[in-house]
Structure 1
């Protein structure tokens, strides 16, 4: 009996799903955009925005309640975090100028981006993946391969930069240390501080939408958390795989998520609609949200006159949500420039467990990188 009980226990432990957490920082420098900050930095923990900085406010702002507690626990380190973002901002302005020269470009709108971070599995306590990437004008420029310790140049203009960086062994060691040691430690602290937020569940508002009578019916679920969810159509209790179009899970501005799935009904008689239903499932919640296909509850562009006020309010709400998502995407939009590293040991620079900046790709203005990681930050 004891052996059987032990076997069941091991089986249940084996079946428990491990959780992979992520910590990412996106820096974006721009030129030629008068109504947009020249520099924006955003930190994401498990795809949830936790900190924001831009060149207009010049302050690191917590975006979650538990990040406010982090700031209150150590105000001096939070001040140094703002100073670090300011340093990145100053260096990014130089880098975007260098990038434009390298690509023989002047004037117009240009974007230089950087993304650095890591993924960590709580069950094995191992780093699953580390990433450190740079891009210019919406295209990948160069990235670091943690497995080989070398740089990858996806386009010809970055080949010379790759060769210089591959020769800088001190920089390689510094970035490896960040990806395998520093970033995971910051990530674990995020898990510690944000545990209450991670363990919450929020159910969505599910709606049926249709542009016109001949258009597919869209089942839209928004406002749920976490993102481990599924949305699908079924007929007579069986999940449908044909005549359906699944959308991706997207972020809302408030940290929740949304998803949609379309169902084509052009060949389905009206009397058969009652056989269809949309099903939303959320991890950790036993009861599903089931919405039966009913013409009476479908929101369309052709509302009745007495429903115009409701339609206008709904449309306005959707527009506000979309606009907020677009702003977040612009801020989070990719990867950026490099920052100047102080003449200190890399580990001594890490004063706060949530310090975001991965090490820069440090170069001098010359073709040689033998000066080491503390030389002026120049990409080109």
Structure 2
């Protein structure tokens, strides 16, 4: 790759990176799911899970190394989240029972969810707070921070909306959390994350291929920070044709992964040696070059004549089980973007002044 092209790509990644950060709490209460906790709470920073609690453990658990350090430095903050997990489990459990009665529902699966938190722009300093609820996968109530009122498009929620709007103290309390406390916590979390993740992690790079006729995928995983470039080149020049770039995706440990596919259908085996995959990480001088070598390609493909019937059957059964798990996961996740709060229930993040002082990170 030419020097100016490389400089452009690295500058592009830096400039286009969003400076808007978010702290989000996702709460899910369910009824009728035998293999899923009745209540699950997940906290996320910039779409990465950092904390978890459910009705089985009844304990807030850090999901990142830097969060564990924060918990050690501010134990009362962790205790507040644990207390909130337990109290909101009981509240949402009672709420979902009340809703089932309100809608005359008996058997079946029902899901009540809330998404609450804030976004903060570290350049403009703009703060956006949000709190919204859903029931059985449909929007139910949304808090309007400008008017401090709950709004809904569902006729069934009109009465509940009026009752919620009559609680002026609750609305003021929620506003205080969304525009003051939540951003304060978010900034502190970002500082801890920055100090903990001020590092450079190089990835492991692999060549993958589903079948001999499939594109060869160059897969890099475990790198940090996210500002990276992965591409194929031939004879030292970057390729743009017969190449498909994947998105940069987060790993559970805070690192990232990405892939780029190369279609070799028109390439002769003799020319494979002219191709190589290149990984570049912002702030790292040397790149990682992986030569296109058939012996280095990892694949699960086996000739049909060499594939016994037993593993085929087992593989199909395993795939069906995997699909069942994935479908269940999508069913739950899609509903995390919506939420609802019944009347006269306390907000998960409603804070009395004493609780705020105990949980304060300033």
Shorter-chain TM-score: which interval?
A: 0.7 to 0.9
Aligned mate of 2:355, from 349, 368, 373: 349
Residue segments in structure 2 that go unaligned for 5+ positions in a row = 1-13
| SS at structure 2 position matched to 1:51 | strand
Moved more, 258-267 or 167-176: 167-176
Shift of 1:205: 1.3
Q: Confirm or deny that 1:252 pairs with 2:248.
A: no
Shift of 1:328: 9.3
Please tell me whether the aligned partners of residues 19 and 122 of structure 2 are also in contact (alpha carbons under 8 angstroms): yes
Partner of 2:203: 204
Partner of 2:346: 340
| SS at structure 2 position matched to 1:192 | helix
Moved more, 141-150 or 117-126: 141-150
Partner of 2:116: 116
Shift of 1:210: 0.9
Partner of 1:279: 278
Relative to the length of structure 2, the TM-score reads: 0.72
Counterpart CA distance in 2 for 1:232 and 1:140 is: 42
Shift of 1:301: 1.7
| SS at structure 1 position matched to 2:57 | coil
Counterpart CA distance in 1 for 2:26 and 2:52 is: 10
Partner of 2:213: 214
Residue segments in structure 1 that go unaligned for 5+ positions in a row = 1-13, 356-380
Shift of 1:193: 2.9
Shift of 1:217: 1.9
Number of aligned residue pairs: give it.
326
Q: What's the CA shift string for 1:211-260, capped at 9, x where partnerless?
A: 11122222222212233334344445555555444333333232322222
Relative to the length of structure 1, the TM-score reads: 0.69
Please tell me whether the aligned partners of residues 140 and 340 of structure 2 are also in contact (alpha carbons under 8 angstroms): no
Q: What's the CA shift string for 1:286-334, capped at 9, x where partnerless?
A: 4333333332211112369xxx9xxx9xx9xxx9xx99x9799898772
Shift of 1:172: 4.3
Please tell me whether the aligned partners of residues 278 and 291 of structure 1 are also in contact (alpha carbons under 8 angstroms): yes
| SS at structure 2 position matched to 1:285 | coil
Q: Confirm or deny that 1:301 pairs with 2:300.
A: yes
Counterpart CA distance in 1 for 2:237 and 2:174 is: 50
Partner of 1:265: 264
Report the RMSD for the aligned CA atoms in angstroms. 4.1
Moved more, 59-68 or 184-193: 59-68
Moved more, 14-23 or 197-206: 14-23
Q: What's the CA shift string for 1:54-77, capped at 9, x where partnerless?
A: 111111222334433433344344
Q: What's the CA shift string for 1:191-215, capped at 9, x where partnerless?
A: 2333322322222211111111122
Rate the CA distance shift 1:106–1:20 in 2: closer, same or farther, 3 A.
same
Partner of 1:175: 174
Listed as ranges, the matches of 1:1-380 within 5 Å are 19-101=19-101, 105-127=105-127, 129-146=128-145, 153=152, 170-237=169-236, 239-302=238-301, 334-335=336-337, 338=341, 340-341=346-347, 346-350=352-356, 351-353=358-360
Counterpart CA distance in 2 for 1:131 and 1:172 is: 12
Shift of 1:45: 2.4
Please tell me whether the aligned partners of residues 87 and 340 of structure 1 are also in contact (alpha carbons under 8 angstroms): no
